[in-house]
Chains A and B, each alone.
Chain A
Amino acid sequence: MRRLHARLALPALLILSLVVIALAVPFLGLPNPVRQDIPNRLTGMAPGAPLGRDEFGRDVFSRLLWGARTSLFVAFTATTIAALAGTLLGMLGGWFRGVAEFLSVRIADVILCFPPILLALLVVTIMGPGVATLILMLSVLYTPGFVRVAYGEVLSTRNQDFVTAMTALGATTPRILALTVLPNIASPLLVQYSLTLGAAIVVESGLSFLGLGVVPPTPSWGLMIRGARATMEQAPLLLLWPCLALTVTILAFNLLCDALRDAFDPKSAASVGTRPRPRLVDRFAPGLFPTRADSGAILSVRGLTVEIGTRRGVIRPVDDVSFTVGAGETLAIVGESGSGKSVTVTSLMGLLPAAARPVAGEAVFEGHDLLRRSPDQLRALRGARLAMIPQDPMSSLNPVHKVGDQVVEAILAHRSIARPAARAEALALFRRVGIADPERRLDAWPHEMSGGMRQRVMIAMAIANRPALLIADEPTTALDVTMQAQILDLLADLRRETGSALIFITHSLGVVAEIADTVMVMYAGQVVEQGPVASVFAAPFHPYTAALLAAVPQDDAAPEPIPGAVPPPHRFPQGCRFAPRCGHAQPPCGEAQPLRHFGNGREVRCARAGDLRLGRAAHDA
């Protein structure tokens, strides 16, 4: 935000001083800008004429300042008229639709079909040049822009839930428009206003330059450039001053417009902001420590820690996470939003955003540490030995390529076979994942498919090169239950058939129970409990696991809320991170807890893990 204020300040200050100059110019005691002094024409800088005199011997400095007055007067008057008229028409058109829409928006569309200067020239032909013509024609020219912006914003605002809520409350139309719609469309209108001011100055000066705008001898920058052009050889500087004044003024309006746009649009502001520089932490040289041989494990993660540089400092969304996945095994990672489950697997794939990086730990996959592989080595693994099924099948396919081509692309990225052969494989894959009418579907576009069907395409893509490990990041969250059942079924089938291991991220405990062998529960970046699903769910050792299980409504047990919310990463508590929300917290919980082994593959991060009886089993007893 502070950067934005700085970006706003400079152009705003410049424009403010221009406006002050334009208003004050008659009181500055400057020489008369239209008084000719032919004997002294084209003289250079002299006392009383700091910038010299023009081809008629008029004082250039005085004409420059008076020119600002002309330009700004024309631009502000015309833009204000256009803004008022356009906003009103656009709002009425957007809110009432029907005839109002036709009269405002459709006519605006037609006017927008004219290149601006040409429409202006048509008006000048009819009315003759002059300031009044300029203002009228610029107002007509720029009203449609405001109509369009106001209309578009009203259309998108009127369907927002908070506007529906006002309607549901029985609010009158003027009340809704004034209280809810106008404040929400004010920012884009303000941006349009500053944009239009700049554009109006461009058109005004351009027409004056052609001798068709402001009528001589009224001082105007466009006219000054026109005049100086004729005497360019004798007095090139005369050309420079008005050019500079004009360009700086337009630049100031444009910069103001950009800064306003960024200030109002959080999305673009984020892209403008500094890219966070992650702290450089020493990395161990690869191979310095021999990797621990974990027999049967296809992936073994030890002490994985990820840091992200943010404006609030460095955060650790993943802290000391360890787990193993055996060949053909399914591990479910559960946790609420902010638990770090997605960051964990994304770091394994080497797909973390630039600001995030793993700073400690190792992730040994088929004998090599993924965290220390070069980008090229990782690329060779991704999509081949290690594949991913994403959360949102709607956005994960590229909308401008046919789905079959996207699967073929995945095959060709790792194997040098002919394209027709790859296409034949894609067809077989489509058939395997249960896509009806696979020949035709290969040539379908993503938007022609339903969510469930697209997720099948994503699965086909993921298994195309027979990976040893599949990572599925909430693959059914975006789907309806009956579709979810189909996809879970397909995944279980594929796993039986290919023997690949599966990491399945989900927030649904029910899904965990359906699909996984082992479960790892994450809270605030840490593993709090892991072990075989049946044993963990039957008798959880960690109070968070127990609370999560009890929060799900099932049968006649009322859901029990967990008080509070997951803390954001920059406010993780010092000791046990769940302690502030835990009903069993005691003094030792104020200290950081290690992950302790409890036999039977179970690990728990809780000071009181030994002495608590938790879970539904405990309630029933």
Chain B
Amino acid sequence: MTPDAEPLLVAEHVSVSFSRKRLFGRGPAVRAVQDVSLRIGRGEAVGIVGESGSGKSTLGRLLLGLIKPASGEVRFDGSALQSLSRRDWRALRQRMQIVFQAPYGSLDPRRRIGSQIGDGLAIHRLAAPGQMPEAVRALLEQVGLDASHADRFPHEFSGGQRQRIGIARALASRPDFLVADEPVSSLDVSIQAQILDLLDRLRRELGLALVLISHDLAVVRHLCDRVVVMYLGRVMEEGPARSVLDAPRHPYTRALVSATPRIGAGGRPARILLPGEPPSPSAPPTGCVFRTRCSFAIAACGEAVPPLTQTNHDHGVACIRLADLP
């Protein structure tokens, strides 16, 4: 990627909120994602981490264009997703795909897996009907499954195998951008490593740009070049995965890293316990959304949303007290 060429995917100041429909009017708006900007280069792997309610899954769907942002813009390879014609939008779908959390509803229980994997080929006419079985077999082998299993139904597979099927389905249309939403969080440890291995290998072989949404910092650190840390719909910290996760700057990232249990006793900073609970996303605090649980918060933190300040090497931190932190 040349420095001035536009990255594969650019999100600029995207926000979206949801509200439940009631009999009269609507319920309080849940601000799922607020003013997030992001750039993802070709072949780059970006991790989005955060706890439940941080808006990381919503952000993933925004990037894919499956949810329309209330404000802001998402551009894929130069074209803005929300202003595309229906036809161009469909054509673009070939290039951006999604992998879901494994066993839950990610596969249609009533269709053979071969036919589900073939959807991408059929919709975008990437294989003639006669070549379809051959193409599906190749995809199955690519993700490490037995090519003869194309005629089976999803319930005949284990969790890890289903995740491989989900990956094969996403790869069928030969995308160059893939969002993986908690791809291993419901799998056993020994199977997790298998799937992570597969994702890593495919990404390198196919030159995929990958967005990995996860609550597991170690997984993101292992697989991703860059990481975005979210809290209550906003970006707290962003930068190269190792520099953010090994030397976190933002108070929230520090607490998150310190709370992650580790096997070896050494190397982990003293645990920072966050007091209380995350506030409701329908009534986030003013200014910095993290200030209500931050031990460094001062009055000024409530006045304005802190901008993402670049420190060094592409590493941004949204904290006005950055200079005063120990």
Contact = CB atoms under 8 A, between A and B. Distances in A.
Interface stretch (A81-89, A108-116, A228-236, A507-515): A507-515
Interface string B101-136: 100111111110000100110011000000000000
Interface size class of B (residues with CB under 8 A): 35 or more
Interface stretch (A249-257, A304-312, A402-410, A545-553): A545-553
B56 to A, nearest CB: 12
A452 B277 contact: yes
A168 B189 contact: no
Given A170-B123, A561-B194, A165 B100 contact: yes
A513 B267 CA distance: 13
Interface string B183-225: 0000011111110110000000000000000010011011000
A560 B193 contact: yes
Contact of A336 (B101, B124, B190, B218): B190
Given A184-B110, A562-B193, A175 B273 contact: no
A166 B193 contact: no
Contact of A171 (B96, B98, B123): B123
Contacts of A166: 119
A168 B188 contact: no
Interface in A534-571: 534, 537, 547-549, 551-555, 558-563, 565-566
Contacts of A336: 188-190
Contacts of B11: none
Contacts of A218: none
- Binding site of A, secondary structure by majority: helix, strand, loop or mixed? helix
B64 A514 contact: no
A40 interface: no
Interface in A470-492: 480-486, 488-489
B34 interface: no
B260 interface: yes
A145 to B, nearest CB: 23
Nearest to A506: B261
B262 A554 contact: yes
A486 to B, nearest CB: 6
A168 B259 contact: no
Contact of B277 (A167, A172, A450, A563): A450
Given A168-B64, A170-B123, A559-B197, A547 B190 contact: yes
Contacts of B193: 551-553, 559-562
Interface size class of A (residues with CB under 8 A): 35 or more
A480 B51 contact: yes
B255 A480 contact: no
Contacts of A554: 218, 262-264
B260 A566 contact: no
A175 B191 contact: no
A268 interface: no
A553 B196 contact: yes
A336 B197 CA distance: 19
A162 interface: yes
B263 A510 contact: yes
A398 interface: no
A183 interface: yes
A480 B52 contact: yes
A522 to B, nearest CB: 13
Contacts of A80: none
Nearest to A558: B222
Interface in A60-109: none
Contacts of B120: 169
A165 B93 CA distance: 10
B273 A168 contact: no
Nearest to B101: A161
B274 interface: yes
A336 B187 CA distance: 9
A547 B191 CA distance: 11
Contacts of B116: 162
B226 interface: no
B294 to A, nearest CB: 12
A227 B124 CA distance: 67
Given A162-B106, A553-B218, A554-B262, A337 B188 contact: yes
A161 B261 contact: no
A354 B116 CA distance: 39
A24 B299 CA distance: 88
Interface string B16-57: 000000000000000000000000000000000001100000
Contact of B189 (A450, A537, A548): A548
B93 A168 contact: yes
Nearest to B92: A170
B105 A161 contact: yes
B233 interface: no
B157 to A, nearest CB: 10
Contacts of B259: 481-482, 484-485
A558 to B, nearest CB: 7
Contact of A511 (B93, B123, B261): B261
B115 to A, nearest CB: 9
B276 interface: yes
A452 B277 CA distance: 8
A293 interface: no
A553 B160 CA distance: 17
A511 B189 CA distance: 13
Interface string B70-95: 00000000000000000001111110
Given A548-B190, A553-B219, A561-B197, A164 B263 contact: no
B263 A509 contact: yes
Interface string A136-177: 000000000000000000000000111011111111100100
Nearest to B260: A481
Contacts of B94: 169-170
B271 A485 contact: yes
A370 interface: no
B107 A162 contact: yes
Interface string A496-539: 00000000000111110110000000000000000000100100
A24 B219 CA distance: 69
A453 interface: yes
A281 interface: no
Contacts of B194: 561-563
Contacts of B263: 509-510, 513, 537, 549, 552, 554
Contact of B66 (A167, A484, A559): A167
B97 A169 contact: yes
Given A162-B107, A170-B123, A554-B264, A559 B192 contact: yes
A509 B188 CA distance: 12
Given A170-B124, A510-B263, A184 B108 contact: yes
B320 to A, nearest CB: 22
Contacts of B323: none
B325 interface: no
A43 interface: no
A481 B260 CA distance: 6
Contacts of A133: none
Given A482-B51, A507-B188, A551-B190, 15 more contacts: A161-B106, A168-B93, A169-B123, A170-B124, A171-B123, A183-B108, A336-B190, A481-B51, A482-B273, A485-B274, A513-B264, A513-B265, A554-B264, A565-B188, A566-B188
11 contacts: A162-B106, A165-B100, A168-B98, A169-B123, A484-B261, A486-B273, A507-B188, A554-B262, A559-B197, A561-B191, A565-B160
Closest 3 CB pairs of A and B: A170-B93, A510-B261, A562-B190
Interface of A: 160-162, 164-172, 175, 179-180, 183-184, 336-337, 436, 450, 452-453, 480-486, 488-489, 507-511, 513-514, 534, 537, 547-549, 551-555, 558-563, 565-566
